[in-house]
Structures are given as C-alpha cells and as structure tokens.
Amino acid sequence: MKHVIVLLGLMAFVSCSSFKAERVGAKESDKKAMGITDNWVSEDTRQAIEEILKQMDTHKGFKKALRRYRDPKLFVAEVQNNTSEAYFPIGDMNDELLYELSRAGDFTLIDAAAREKILEEITYQNDGMVDPAQAKQIGKQYGADLMIFGNVYMKPEKRDGKTIKEYSVNLRITDIQKGIEIFRGRKKVYKYSDKASFGW
C-alpha cells in the first residue's frame, strides 16, 4: 500500500510540473543560449565577424593600403580552430566571414576551397575529355593581391569558483607581393560557467 501511495504522489508531482516550449527565431534563440551556455553559439560568430569588419573599416593604414589597388583581389584562407574544442563551429565562422566580405563588396574574392575545385575541373577539361574549343585554359585565373588569415584561440581560467572561457578571434590581411601585414583585427569573447571541470 505504501508503494501505491508513493507512486500516486510521484504522478501528481510530475503532472503539476509543466514543460513549456515555444518557437523562436534563430537570433532570439542564440541570444537566450548566450545567457545559459558557455558553448560558442552562432550569435557569437556573427558578432565577432561584425566587430572585426568594423575595425577594418576604421583602420587608417588598411584604408591607405587599399587605395593602391583599383580592384583588390582577396584570397580568403580558412580561419583555423586553435581551441581545444573539437566541436567549435569553425565552418560557420568561415561561411560568415565569406558572406560578410562578399556582402560588403570591397573585394573580388578568391576562395581557397573554390580554387581547389576549379583547378580540378580545369585539369579534367584539359585531359582530353572535353572538346578543346569548350575547355577553359590554364593560366587565366586572377592572382590575389591580398590574403586574409585567421584563427580562434580559447584560454580557460578559474575565478571565484567559476570557469571563464576567453575566446580570441583573430584576422589579419597581408599584401602578397610585398609580404607586409596591412591589417590585424581581434575580438575577444568571454563565456562564464559554474561547472567545476571541463576536462581540460
């Protein structure tokens, strides 16, 4: 009989507690997630890229260097994940960077991943598999004037029983011909957690 009473009590407790779910947009979802998780979310990516591109817009040396080119061609190398987090969404960061650079329209973009695929296709076309009149010729691609490199670091620290993840998103642009850096931008993002250990 005692077991039945305990079971009924448990059922009453479960039925009184309710789960509420609601559909929200991606931006609102990310803003809520930023307050309850120490994981990197897509809003962190968007804000980091936006901030670094703002730094680019106001960088005097960079603007001065750009005036040397009529139509600057920018080779976009992949941003590297140098955090200890295998799940860090580095692909999203690369996509966001390409999207924002394309949207701004200040450069002719030469995408690293696209270049490899294009080279494969041109090689195929010139191996005798395609009508020579239709085959695209090797040696006609644009050469880049500038290269953009990037990386993300994360340094965990413990303060007052809380773990603080300090992320650093870094981008730099180099003039290929001269081998000189013309821009370096950085955005730091801090994520807090009460978890005792993360296995670092």
- Summarised one tens digit per residue, pLDDT across range 86-136 is 899 999 999 999 999 999 999 998 877 777 788 888 888 888 778 777 777
Q: Using CA atoms, how far apart are residues 167 and 156, in angstroms rounded to an integer? A: 9
SS3 163: strand
- Are the CB atoms for 169 and 191 separated by under 8 Å? no
Across-strand partners of 185? 171
Sorted by where each begins, the domain ranges of the chain are 26-193
Predicted pLDDT of residue 31: 52
Confidence (pTM): 0.71
CATH of domain 26-193: 3.40.50
Q: Using CA atoms, how far apart are residues 47 and 31, in angstroms rounded to an integer? A: 11
Q: Which of 116, 138, 115, 112 is CA-nearest to residue 125?
A: 138
- Summarised one tens digit per residue, pLDDT across range 136-164 is 776 666 788 999 999 999 998 877 777 78
